[in-house]
């Protein structure tokens, strides 16, 4: 039997992605991988988790192994409601909802908002798994120009008027893949645009706390709460294996998201939620953020210094203030995908930037370089060798 005959139309958007093929080689012995997008395993707070395991079982007992409510574990919602105030987010516990990672919400938002052919605006380039999700629901993706200060508000407004999109997806801090952060001035403009045009913003902010220089900026949600679905995550400040994220959305949207989640996974891990609740309550989250910043900042600096020292003429790269990625752009005739096998032979892996664009044949001369999961020495050597190949 040919099973592929049975596939739904949307399955076409899920074809064995070329990027997965590319990343297969990353695990080879001796590979210096700047390709992944993962936190450093040594950042995981295993000692704290040991301690909190005992607290959780003692305090909550068998309830953390039971089915839970879709909206989320109430004590965690209450803690998050207080915790998120430093981001300018004013949401009572009843307005904070728990998801299975922020990816859980990224896939639920188009599920409830998109009909085949509806337009979604994204900054170009953007997070690959968001593109994949939006496309799987039949969305037509329109990319908006972005620079080192994030998406260009004037271009966004023109596109909102022209395409009448269902929503716009933005990553405000240390964007994946470029590392760009939307400036305060642009955030204010974006908030005005979405309010003036009755538009919805999906603000995906998993890297918020990984800031290594500059000032923390308020979320766009805090400037336009009635127009924003805000997504946060525990993956970069606790552990991605817990699969925990959260969202704050206008009431009507949140209640449909809850309803959709009932059909997807019913609720997010009760046990993880109880752990996360105690993690905030015990003040561990702030300590962990400081630890992660201390771990990643020198890695980012090592990457920027090595790029400065070794990269050939004609290449430029972003200088992020945080996050996990630097984005490099080569001369027009540079093809990052074509160079890849040679880089692999020399034990350096990266992600060709073309995968982060809404259309094929875009961004051929770009690449994403990750610095969170490799130590400084390896980063420096990998960039030196990559530069030689270039
Ligand atoms: C921009 C962006 N959004 C969402 C996610 C998914 O994060 P989570 O682990 O919370 O599902 C990632 C993961 O790398 C990401 O880069």
**Residue 124 backbone dihedrals phi, psi, to 5 degrees:** -115, 115
DSSP label at residue 26 = G
**Structural tokens at position 31:** 């590979």
Q: Which residue has tokens 């590392």?
A: 179
Q: Which atom of ligand 1 is nearest to the CA of 103?
A: 11
For ligand 1, say whether the CB of 100 is within 6 Å of any of its atoms. no
Residue 350, both tokens: 């990266």
At residue 247, the pLDDT reads: 98
Q: 370 CB under 6 A from ligand 1?
A: no
Q: Which two tokens stand for residue 352?
A: 């060709």
* Tokens, residue 224: 């336009």
SS (H, E, C) 194-230: HHHCCCCEEEECCCCCCECCCCCCCCCCCCCHHHEEE
* Residues 91 and 222 sit within 8 Å (Cβ to Cβ): no
| Ligand 1 pocket check for 102: Cβ under 6 Å | yes
Per-residue pLDDT tens, the chain, 390 aa: give them. 888 888 887 777 666 666 777 778 888 899 999 998 899 999 999 999 999 999 999 999 999 999 999 999 999 999 999 999 999 999 999 999 999 999 999 999 999 999 999 999 999 999 999 999 999 999 999 999 999 999 999 999 999 999 999 999 999 999 999 999 999 999 999 999 999 999 999 999 999 999 999 999 999 999 999 999 999 999 999 999 999 999 999 999 999 999 999 999 999 999 999 999 999 999 999 999 999 999 999 999 999 999 999 999 999 999 999 999 999 999 999 999 999 999 999 999 999 999 999 998 899 999 999 999 999 999 999 999 999 999
Structure tokens at 15: 């074809």
Q: How far is the CA of 184 from the centre of ligand 1 (A)?
A: 23
CA dist., res. 56 & res. 62, Å (int): 10
d(CA 10, CA 188): 36
Q: Is 107 in the pocket of ligand 1 (CB under 6 A)?
A: no
Nearest to 376 by CA among 279, 294, 318: 294
Contact by Cβ (8 Å): 318, 178: yes
Look at residue 27 in the predicted model and tell me its pLDDT. Answer: 83
Q: Whose CA is nearest to atom 6 of ligand 1?
A: 103
Ligand 1 atom nearest to CA at 100: 11
Instruction: State if residue 103 touches ligand 1 by the CB under 6 angstroms criterion.
Output: yes
Closest CA to 100 of 243, 202, 276: 243
DSSP annotation of 311: P
Tell me what pLDDT residue 307 has: 98
Token pair for 167: 């929503």
CA of 47 to the centre of ligand 1 (A): 24
CB 359 within 8 A of CB 219: no
Give the per-residue pLDDT at 18: 67
Query: Would you say 320 and 179 are in contact if contact means Cβ atoms under 8 Å apart?
Result: yes
């Amino acid at each position: 039997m040919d099973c592929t005959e049975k596939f739904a139309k949307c399955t076409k958007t899920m074809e064995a992605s070329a990027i997965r093929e590319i990343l297969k080689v990353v695990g080879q012995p001796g590979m210096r991988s700047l390709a992944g997008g993962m936190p450093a395993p040594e950042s995981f707070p295993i000692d704290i988790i040991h301690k909190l395991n005992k607290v959780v079982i003692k305090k909550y007992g068998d309830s953390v192994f039971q089915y839970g409510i879709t909206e989320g574990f109430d004590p965690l919602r209450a803690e998050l409601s207080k915790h998120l105030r430093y981001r300018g987010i004013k949401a009572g516990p009843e307005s904070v909802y728990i998801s299975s990672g922020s990816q859980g919400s990224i896939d639920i938002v188009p599920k409830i908002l998109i009909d085949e052919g509806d337009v979604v605006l994204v900054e170009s380039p953007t997070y690959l798994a968001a593109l994949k999700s939006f496309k799987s629901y039949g969305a037509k993706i329109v990319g908006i120009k972005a620079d080192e200060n994030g998406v260009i508000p004037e271009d966004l407004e023109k596109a909102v008027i022209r395409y009448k999109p269902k929503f716009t997806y933005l990553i405000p801090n240390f964007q994946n893949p470029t590392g760009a952060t939307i400036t305060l001035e642009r955030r204010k403009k974006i908030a005005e645009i979405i309010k003036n045009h009755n538009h919805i913003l999906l603000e995906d902010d998993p890297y918020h706390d990984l800031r290594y220089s500059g000032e923390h900026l308020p979320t766009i949600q805090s400037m336009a709460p009635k127009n924003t679905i805000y997504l946060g995550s525990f993956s970069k400040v606790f552990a991605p294996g817990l699969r925990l994220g959260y969202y704050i959305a206008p009431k009507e949207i949140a209640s449909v998201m809850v309803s959709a989640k009932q059909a997807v996974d019913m609720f997010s891990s009760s046990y993880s939620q109880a752990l996360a609740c105690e993690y905030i309550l015990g003040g561990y989250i702030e300590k962990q953020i400081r630890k992660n910043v201390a771990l990643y900042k020198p890695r980012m600096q090592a990457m920027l210094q090595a790029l400065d020292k070794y990269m050939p003429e004609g290449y430029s790269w972003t200088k992020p203030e945080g996050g996990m990625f630097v984005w490099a752009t080569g001369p027009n005739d540079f093809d990052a995908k074509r160079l890849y096998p040679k880089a692999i032979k020399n034990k350096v892996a990266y992600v060709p930037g073309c995968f982060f664009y809404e259309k094929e044949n875009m961004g051929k001369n770009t690449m994403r370089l990750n610095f969170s999961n490799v130590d400084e020495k390896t980063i420096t050597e990998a960039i030196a060798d990559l530069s030689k190949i270039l």
